[in-house]
């Protein structure tokens, strides 16, 4: 069949058959996606077996709750960032910390504090470097923003995230810090290690067929928001990781690379109430003022809540 015949057929089956109320946006999207799928079946001569294997794959990936991971791994989530960047450029937005993907591992409801939070439960402190993360939230004119909400989440030394990894305590390595009067936040935590897809999982299975690995560099996630500013979804990725520019989820971007420096000066240690050398990352944020004309940066997606 050619595309015109395909489109006629799809309309006959899914549009002309409507007897109830139609959601026009959903109809438009389904008709288009079906048309593109039928066309791909034609062009690639996709067999019945291949089609069923594909549907079975989606069933398995959904049952394993890995569709969010798959979206990251196939670059769909990064592609949406690139589109959002394009829209921002067209809207004339200049400045602001670059966005990058949320990923599938955020959990709402983390403990909230002002200015400072200790994020780790101490269970790894005997064998993992302490990491101090500090920074300020500013607007694009350089004004500090007090009371900004800085939501932070990251992996432990095995690359695992609490909640999804039930061996960790509740909200381990997840905190919400409200910036202090100077627009500053400070987190005491442990050095994260890059995530790797579950080796026997559905996402890694498709990556294997593409000859790809499923690893991310060491990174820390953020949502940064404040009234009248656009919500920022971003991460920093840590310099020195072998996957820094080989991230299976394509989240590493210029402007989002952080360097962890070794701090051994006892005076600096005392400043953070630490009695051991530690690592320190300074990461500042720049938020863009919101106006009604700008595309929204709020993404409505199903998120875990604890
Ligand atoms: C992660 O930690 C992550 O950030 C993404 C994008 C995908 C899988 C695991
Ligand atoms: Fe992550």
* Ligand (nearest to CA of 251): 1
Cα–Cα distance for residue pair 196/214, rounded to 1 Å: 6
Cα–Cα distance for residue pair 111/117, rounded to 1 Å: 9
CA of 198 to the centre of ligand 1 (A): 11
* SS3 state at 108: strand
Asked if 166 and 302 touch (Cβ cutoff 8 Å), the reply is no
Predicted TM-score of the model (pTM): 0.97
Percent with pLDDT over 90 in the chain: 99
Residue 72 in contact with ligand 1 by CB distance below 6 A: yes
Residue 207 in contact with ligand 1 by CB distance below 6 A: no
Select from 177, 186, 130, 118 the least CA-distant residue to 157: 130
Q: ∠ CA 222-228-231 to the nearest 5 degrees?
A: 20
Residue 251 in contact with ligand 1 by CB distance below 6 A: yes
Identify the residue whose C-alpha is closest to ligand 1 atom 5.
103
- What are the tens digits of pLDDT across the range 264-279? 999 999 999 999 999 9
- What are the tens digits of pLDDT across the range 79-109? 999 999 999 999 999 999 999 999 999 999 9
In the chain, how many H helices and how many E strands?
A: 7, 14
Select from 145, 206, 193 the least CA-distant residue to 165: 193
**Ligand 1 site-directed mutation target among 64, 72, 202, most atoms within 8 Å of CB:** 72
Cα–Cα distance for residue pair 35/46, rounded to 1 Å: 14
Residue 205 in contact with ligand 1 by CB distance below 6 A: no
- Per DSSP, the residues of 240-261 read T-TTTT--TT----TT-EE-PE
């Amino acid at each position: 069949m050619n595309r015109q015949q395909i489109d006629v057929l799809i309309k006959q089956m899914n549009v002309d058959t409507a007897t109830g109320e139609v959601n026009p946006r959903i109809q438009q999207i389904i008709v288009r996606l079906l048309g593109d799928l039928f066309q791909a079946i034609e062009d690639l001569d996709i067999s019945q077996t291949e089609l069923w294997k594909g549907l079975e794959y989606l069933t398995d990936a959904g049952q394993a709750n890995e569709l969010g991971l798959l979206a990251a791994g196939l670059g769909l989530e990064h592609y949406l960032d690139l589109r959002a960047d394009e829209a921002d450029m067209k809207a004339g937005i200049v400045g602001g910390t670059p966005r990058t993907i949320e990923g599938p591992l955020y959990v709402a409801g983390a403990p909230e504090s002002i200015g400072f939070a200790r994020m780790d439960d101490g269970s790894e402190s005997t064998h993992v470097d302490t990491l101090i993360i500090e920074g300020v939230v500013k607007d694009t004119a350089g004004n500090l923003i007090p009371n900004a909400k800085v939501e932070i989440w990251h992996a432990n030394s095995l690359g695992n995230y609490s909640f999804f990894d039930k061996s960790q305590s509740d909200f381990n390595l997840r905190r919400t810090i409200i910036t202090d009067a100077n627009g500053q936040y400070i987190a005491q935590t442990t050095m994260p290690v890059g995530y790797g897809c579950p080796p026997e999982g559905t996402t890694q299975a498709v990556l294997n067929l593409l000859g790809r690995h499923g690893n991310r560099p060491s990174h820390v996630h953020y949502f940064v928001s404040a009234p009248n500013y656009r919500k920022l979804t971003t991460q920093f990725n840590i310099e020195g990781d072998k996957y820094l520019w080989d991230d299976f989820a394509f989240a590493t971007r210029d402007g989002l690379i952080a360097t962890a420096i070794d701090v051994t000066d006892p005076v600096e240690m005392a400043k953070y109430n630490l009695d051991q050398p530690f690592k320190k990352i300074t990461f500042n944020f720049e938020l863009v003022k919101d106006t009604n004309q700008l595309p929204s940066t709020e993404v409505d997606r199903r998120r875990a809540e604890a």
